[in-house]
Amino acid sequence: MALLDRPSELHPITVGLVNNMPDAAFLETENQFRGAAIGSHGDGIRFELYTIKEVPRSEKVATLIEERYRGLDELWTRPPDALIVTGTEPTQAQLRFEPSWPYLARLLEWASDHVPTTLLSCLTSHASVLLFDGIEREPRPAKCSGVFAGTVEDPSDPLAAGLPDRVPVPHSRLNEVPEAALIAAGYRIVVGGGCTGAGWSVAAREQGHGLFVLCQGHPEYGTLSLLREYRRDVRRCLFGRGAVPYPRLPDGYLGEEAVGILNEFERRAHAVDMDPRELWPAFPFDEVAATVENTWASASATLYANWLQLARVASHARAHDVMLRRAAA
């Protein structure tokens, strides 16, 4: 009987999360990935938290890290069955100049040799193809923000089992890696961009001794994640004195009522006599939030369940090999 046919016989697995997000989104990102990874399978998953402790943090987040997070030095000695590495908000035009680059590079090289499967989110997926394949990300003419219906390229792919032909995936990024460059480097596209213009969402390839799953999209996002990011970008525009352009509304995410509300706020923001200190408290976050529908959660849960099933199978095979080696010793 194939391993995939015997999920009840597989022992619990450990999923490690390396959280690299900025302070403002640090806890929310943990909760997003915890929910995406554990879902309804909490009894069979041990969730462990890691971060790059050398990154400067606010007092609040530093306290949280001290209470619940481990540093990467502890990860090297306890490789999990599956690893999630988040992205972070880019601060440099070139990835190699990001403050976290040396730590990410070492982490990715280690994971390829010691972790059965690693899921990389957004910036970290771009870092991986730069590190292993020399493929540079490319800046987009405008920020990609919204929910886009990607296409399942191969329904027989284990990562695509049970997914609909068209998979809604949130995206939020300034850069992209072209799909053709990934395919030329030997990656398989799991969820492609189709005709949306958003680019691929999920790709995968064997890397070293493990499977790397790259997410250029954000299937883990919560219902209001894109709205919070839009609010952040609006605030940066209002208080940036013209240095930051007013953001576009996220595509495929808001209903007609919400679009009207936010367009009216933008009209007020462009008024000649606008004072951002007076206008900003009126940003209609709660009013718009009440109208947002989550169209991607079901497909995202299926994608993560498929990935974790591959991790279970690999974990079971690894444990079986260890048992055989001990018996032969």
Same domain, 139 and 241: no
pLDDT at residue 1 tops 80: no
Tens of pLDDT, residues 23-49: 999 999 999 999 888 775 666 899 999
What number is the average pLDDT over the span 216-245? 93
Residue 270: active-site member: no
Q: Residue 273 belongs to what domain range? A: 225-289
Same domain, 128 and 189: yes
Give the 3-state secondary structure of residue 201. Answer: coil
Burial bucket for residue 275 (CB in 10 Å: 0-12, 13-18, 19+): exposed
pLDDT at residue 19 tops 80: yes
Q: Which residues pair with 50 in a beta bridge?
A: 18, 70
Q: Rounded distance, CA 300 to CA 308, Å?
A: 12
Same domain, 310 and 256: no
Which of 144, 218, 229, 237 is an active site residue?
218
Which of 122, 144, 215, 237 is an active site residue?
122
Residue 235's pLDDT band (cuts 50, 70, 90): very high
Same domain, 322 and 195: yes
The percentage of the chain sitting over the pLDDT mark of 70, rounded to a whole number, equals 91
CB 24, CB 92: distance < 8 Å: no
pLDDT score of 32: 94
Same domain, 158 and 237: no
Same domain, 305 and 196: yes
17: nearest Cα among 93, 120, 103: 120
For residue 319, which amino acid is it? A
Q: Rounded distance, CA 145 to CA 175, Å?
A: 11
Task: Give the CATH number for residue 74.
Answer: 3.40.50.880
Same domain, 91 and 117: yes
What does pTM read for this prediction?
Answer: 0.92
Strands lying side by side in the sheet with 166-176: 70-71, 45-51, 13-18, 82-85, 117-121, 210-215, 202-207, 188-192, 138-152, 166-176
Same domain, 273 and 312: no
Residue 209: active-site member: no
Q: Which residues pair with 85 in a beta bridge?
A: 18, 120
Same domain, 84 and 213: yes
Residue 54: active-site member: no
Chain centroid offset of residue 140 CA:
18
Same domain, 259 and 151: no
Total domain count, the chain: 2
189: nearest Cα among 173, 169, 205, 209: 205
Q: What token pair was written down for 134?
A: 């020399």
Same domain, 32 and 131: yes
Tens of pLDDT, residues 243-294: 789 999 999 999 999 999 999 999 999 998 999 999 999 999 999 999 999 9
Q: Rounded distance, CA 29 to CA 320, Å?
A: 34
Same domain, 158 and 187: yes
Which of 48, 98, 153, 220 is an active site residue?
220
